[in-house]
């Protein structure tokens, strides 16, 4: 049995593509900032242990780096969205010539 293409697209539209990124989108700016600081500290500790040869799970370095990148990307998107909305509001309030 095969699904029709419309049924596949309907099912795909319901599921988020990146669950981690969607979870981050729901957080406030302060929560993101706190998590970023925490991840940077964790990454530093992981790199330190790696240099000492005591790192048992090297994949955690990659996971921390990618999570930091997700947060920074989301922060930049929010900044850009705020600038665009402010720009639209200022254009809207300007008198037409």
- Look up residue 85 and give its two tokens: 């909305």
Domain chopping of the chain, boundaries:
17-76
pLDDT score for 41? 97
User: Is the model's pLDDT at 62 over the cut of 80?
Assistant: yes
Question: What confidence category does residue 19 fall into, taking pLDDT thresholds of 50, 70 and 90?
Answer: confident
Domain 17-76 CATH class label: mainly alpha
Percent share of the chain, pLDDT over 90: 51
Q: What pLDDT shows up at residue 97?
A: 59
Q: Is the Cβ–Cβ distance between 46 and 64 less than 8 Å?
A: yes
Q: What angle do CA 22, 75, 60 make, to 5 degrees?
A: 65
Query: To the nearest 5 percent, what fractions of the chain are helix, strand and coil?
Result: 80, 0, 20
């Amino acid at each position: 049995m095969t699904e029709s293409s419309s049924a596949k697209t309907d099912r795909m539209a319901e599921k988020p593509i990146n669950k981690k990124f969607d979870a981050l989108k729901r957080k406030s700016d302060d929560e993101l900032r706190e998590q970023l600081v925490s991840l940077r500290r964790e990454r530093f500790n992981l790199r330190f242990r790696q240099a000492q040869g005591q790192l048992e799970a090297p994949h955690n370095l990659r996971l921390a780096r990618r999570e930091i990148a997700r947060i920074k990307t989301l922060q930049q998107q929010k900044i850009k969205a705020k600038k665009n909305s402010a720009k639209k509001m200022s254009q809207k309030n300007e008198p037409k010539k």
